[in-house]
Chains A and B, each alone.
Chain A
Amino acid sequence: MHPSSFEYFAPTKMEEALELLSKYGEDAKIMSGGQSLIPLLKLRIASFPYVIDISGVQGLNRITENKEFLEIGALTTISSIADSELIKKRYQILHEAAGQIADPLIRNRGTIGGNISHGDPSNDIPAVAIALKANLEVIGKEGKRIVEAHSFVTDSFTNVLKVGEILNKIRIPVAPDNSGGCYIKQKKSAGDFSVAAIAVQLSLHDNDSVKSAGIGLTSVAPKPTRAMKAERFLEGKKINDSVVREAAKIVVSESDPSTDFYGSSEFKRKVLGKIAEEAINLSFERATVR
């Protein structure tokens, strides 16, 4: 299979990339790792007159941590995230999610920025970014702006980026002490998209009641979903079996899965309820390890 013809640009500086984007407007498509885009181009589900490959743009593939944020450049590959010792140690939820995306070969090229921007409701990073209450830094010719992770993807394969804008950095607030999280992904086979997946991040007060909760859902709605009611329900509460069961029910009520190849909507709700309980329990367990 071959994509239909396009013109190709590979800028090495952000200014050049933004210049090209504003020149070609809606006829241009940004490509980073290409692991979602190239299959779409090959199947001719999508075609664009101009492809702007930003993978060579300098300085956007770093993972750094300062007092406030863990900052990840949008072009950082999923493999580098899965292999990062810093992320493994302090942001286990992200480490777990990255290691479960597609397969190792795809992870070697796929990027965190692409995983988020593509807007596929089955992509894993958006739910994690939601649970971690990440800020997404967007860059355009007029400057930078911040978008909260939960409002970045607006519908299936649609995001808030305006014509001429690029996702630049992912900023995750530094995890406080007494916090923990996990990503649980239920899938049919290795390398597959999920039937349902959930990202949970909890931070606790000294008395082990929940100080703040972040919950993001994958594959169970037309877009990555924040389970905000469940977050609010958990906040201030002590974790026990009945609280967890109730929270999981609320999570399910906030989902809107469709029936497809991966299962009926009823089946997906059941799976989600089960993994929601598991994820809240596991996050709590991790948050209480001192």
Chain B
Amino acid sequence: MSTIKIRTKVNGKDVEAEVEPRTLLVHFLREELNLTGTHVGCDTSNCGACTVLIDGQAVKSCTVLAAQANGKEITTIEGLSRNGELHPLQKAFLEKHGLQCGYCTSGMILTSFWLLKKNKDPSEEEIRKNLSGNLCRCTGYQSIVESVKYAAQLMNEKEVEREMAVR
């Protein structure tokens, strides 16, 4: 069994590892790094439960080789909170009941994180379009869309606060 060496940054921490080339990123994250917040759902690139960020782009980690993460920065759901404080998206999903069983949630939140980075105030249609690669079988999506909207509001308020503090 041949292995290759990869170097990545996962949630801000440098990681060096030997992997088999066929290792999928999702398995590397879950089994090697113990970051089990990233879920394996359909394992066929449909459901988006395994969504993580690679260099800020939301992707399905069941359809990426760990080898392809070499030299890149990975963000998983474990990397969103700061100093024990939940990210506004996490708070919003909690408050607006953006989840029931929770299986799709980490993927939903990471795709939403990517969306809110490129669009601070998305319309309902933009939210639905951008989340079209993430499936939820519980909520009917309504509460997820509300959560993302609320998170956008929280994040924009936070930004205003920061600006005020600087002044």
Contact = CB atoms under 8 A, between A and B. Distances in A.
Interface of A: 1-8, 10, 34-35, 38-39, 41-43, 51, 53, 55-56, 79, 102-106, 108-109, 190-191
A4 B45 contact: no
A41 B63 CA distance: 10
A105 B67 contact: no
A2 B132 contact: no
Nearest to A1: B43
Contacts, number: 83
Contact of B60 (A1, A41, A106): A106
22 contacts: A1-B43, A2-B23, A2-B24, A5-B1, A6-B22, A7-B21, A8-B21, A10-B70, A34-B65, A35-B45, A38-B45, A38-B64, A38-B65, A41-B22, A104-B58, A105-B59, A105-B134, A108-B57, A109-B57, A109-B59, A109-B63, A109-B64
Contact of B133 (A4, A5, A43, A191): A191
B68 A105 contact: no
A109 B65 CA distance: 12
A191 B63 contact: no
A55 B69 CA distance: 11
B2 to A, nearest CB: 6
A39 B2 contact: no
Of B2, B21, B58, B132, most A-chain CB atoms within 10 Å: B21
A228 to B, nearest CB: 34
A53 B68 CA distance: 8
Nearest to B23: A2
Given A5-B1, A42-B24, 7 more contacts: A2-B23, A2-B27, A38-B65, A41-B22, A104-B129, A105-B48, A106-B133
Contacts of A105: 48, 51, 58-60, 111, 133-134
Interface string B52-77: 00000111100111011011000000
